[in-house]
Amino acid sequence: MKSFLAPVALSLAALAPASAAVNNDSDTLSWTKSYDEALQEAKETGKPLFLEFRCAP
Amino acid sequence: MTELKGINIGLFDYDRHNALYFFILNGDEEIYLRYGGRDSVSPDSYLSLDSLELALQRGLELHDQWKEGNGPAWEAPEPFYPEQMPLLQEKEVSRGRCVECHMIGDYQAAQLELDGNLDKAKLMFPSPDLKKLGIELDVPKGLLVDAVSGMAEAAGLQPGDTIAGFEEHKVYTFGDLQHRFGKHARDATSARLVVDRPGSDEPIELTMQLEPLWWVTDIDYRYWSVDPQAYFGDEPLSAERKAELELPEDALACKVTSVNPRAAIVESHALQVGDEIVAVGGETRHGGLGSCGLYIKINVKSGETVTLDVLRAGEKISMPLKTHRQYYRKNK
């Protein structure tokens, strides 16, 4: 997916550790935690955004 | 990023009691689809890697169409930010606290209640249960229908159909479909589905006749969001038990399954596990709200005291129950 998507991880709960939003397979997928940065990247590259909201159940 | 301050929650509108929720959108902030959704049984009843992969593939297809100028129709919702919620601003933002996603849902309800505009039917049940509507999905395969019953079966939905539309909206995932059901008017008597059916070249339109209270679900998992607090858990009495007690089938009659220790601390009530409640505030019919806890959530205002008729060890006793409002909903 790396070449097609600009994934954004918004780790939105104090109970969810920040690292939990980062894919373990960092060789193939790199997440950013800044929506604004990812949006800018999407505008510049033409990629779609894959946006994750994460919250404690 | 660890919080929702500064995020356009008007754009990213979803049931904040989802543990995980995804959106696929383009650089113009046009959302193609959403992935997530839940039921009262589990936060991940409708999550699977296979259906996520399907959603990702569909998102890429829609993005390709958009780049070619043939993207799906999009109407941007009104921007709205957490900082525009006065109660949230006062209680959390101004104190430099993190605004977690569930807090958006909590404070939206609190603010509306404070303003006298809380529509409990819509705000407290944002995620209707598709199974209650008679739709069982083959979860790994997205919106492929596995089995039907009740309202969906009566509308003509069939196993093997793939749901593709709700009212005037296209839907690509369970998250899309549940979100659309969640936004559907609570007094609506019907809902239109569009399905793709094997052997049919054209999409098929179906009209579901919605039964009263089609949107009611168990909301125990979001109890902190839903005032008043009554500090007990319960389940409806079985048909057999109601018959033993010579109660009608639609009796508001429940067995207490748990008591929150806070009930004693705040002197809310003296219920015990095993007690059977057979009336709440003199009401003996549930009116479609199966459990006594749910009945109280919907019909009793925070801070009010209601009288419970309770059966305990063969004795019938009357007991006051004082409901409470959560701390952050107080003041003003």
3-state secondary structure B20-44: EEEEEECCCCCEEEEECCCCCCCCC
**In chain A, which residues have their Cβ closer than 8 Å to the Cβ of B4?**
10, 12
Contact B24, A50 (CB under 8 A): yes
Minimal Cβ distance to A51: which of B25, B60, B98: B25
Yes or no, beta carbons of B27 and A5 under 8 Å apart: no
Test A12 with B3 for CB contact under 8 angstroms.
yes
Among the partner-chain residues A12, A18, A48, the one whose CB lies closest to the CB of B101 is: A12
Amino acid at A57: P
Q: What is the pLDDT of residues B33-76, one digit of tens each?
A: 999 999 988 889 999 999 999 999 999 999 999 999 998 889 99
Q: What is the ipTM of this complex?
A: 0.83
Mapped onto helix, strand or coil, the DSSP state of residue B321 is strand
Dig out the tokens for A28 from the structure.
């193939």
Q: What is the pTM of this model?
A: 0.84
- Tell me what pLDDT residue B330 has: 54
Tokens, residue B207: 């009209």
Least CB–CB distance from A55: residue in B16, B27, B221: B16
Quick check: A11 contacting B, CB < 8 Å?
Answer: yes
A24 touching B (Cβ < 8 Å)? no
B207-256 tens-digit pLDDT: 999 998 899 888 877 766 677 889 999 999 999 999 999 999 999 999 99
CA distances from B200 to A37, B162, B192, B204, B286 (A): 45, 12, 18, 8, 43
The answer to whether residue B41 neighbours chain A at the CB level (below 8 Å) is no
Of A1, A10, A55, the CB nearest to B102: A55
Please tell me which residue of chain B has the smallest CA distance to A13: B100
Look at B119 and A34; give whichever has higher pLDDT. Answer: A34
